[in-house]
Structure 1
Amino acid sequence: MRKLSLDALAREHLAHAAASANGRSATTVHGGHEHVLRQTLLALTAGTSLAEHENPGEATLQVLRGRVRLTSGDTSWEGRDGDLVLIPPARHGVQALEDSAVLLTVAKRP
């Protein structure tokens, strides 16, 4: 068994994102390409976006810190500390409305 502090990881990666030219930092906290389930902590500075991309499987975005906007087509959802946003099975993008850390959970489709 392994235990991780998402708070500590969020602090660490928000600092990395702030020091990065692209305003982002990420780490896989569980799983990987060879697993069905993958969890990735993403830190984004305010105004930083993840460009629109395909959804590789069932996915959620848990906002650990900050405020983000998830967009898909003409629809958008805002999430803030503690919110869990269900990612639609369609092309989507994410924008940090303020410095933010999120936990992306994806279960790949077979």
Structure 2
Amino acid sequence: MNKVSLTSLAREQLEAARAASSGRSAHTVYGGHEHSLRQTLIALTAGSELDEHESPGEATLQVLHGRVRVASAQAHWEGSTGDHIVIPQSRHGLHALDDSAVLLTVVKSVGPHV
């Protein structure tokens, strides 16, 4: 069993994001390429974003700190601390309205059948 404080990790990643020229920082909390479940804590400074990209598979976003906007060509969703957003299966982007930390959870197929 492994225990991680998301509150502490969010604080650390926000500090790293503030020091980075991109205004972003990320840390894999669980999983990796060999797992079907992957959880990544992403920190973004206010105004920073992840450009529009393809959906990685089934995914959700939990806002741990701040306010963000997830936008696709069809719609957008805003979330603040404590909100849980289902990521659209279409191209989308993520924009930080405030300094923010989110937990991205993705499930995708792995193994020889992929």
Both proteins in one fold, TM over 0.5:
yes
CA displacement 1:76-110 (0-9 Å, x = unmatched) = 00000000000011100000000000000000145
Task: Determine if the alignment matches structure 1 residue 59 to structure 2 residue 59.
Answer: yes
- After TM superposition, what 4+ stretches of structure 1 lie above 6 angstroms from structure 2? none
Q: TM-score, normalised by structure 1?
A: 0.98
Q: 2:85 aligns to what SS in structure 1?
A: strand
Q: TM-score, normalised by structure 2?
A: 0.94
More strand by share: 1
Q: Which entry has the higher C-alpha Rg, 1 or 2?
A: 2
Partner of 2:5: 5
Q: 2:22 aligns to what SS in structure 1?
A: coil
Task: Determine if the alignment matches structure 1 residue 21 to structure 2 residue 9.
Answer: no
Deviation at 1:74, TM superposition (A): 3.2
CA displacement 1:32-72 (0-9 Å, x = unmatched) = 01110000000000000100001121000000000000001
Q: 2:9 aligns to what SS in structure 1?
A: helix
Could you list the runs of 5+ residues in structure 1 that have no partner in the other structure?
A: none
Aligned alpha-carbon RMSD (Å): 0.8
Could you list the runs of 5+ residues in structure 2 that have no partner in the other structure?
A: none
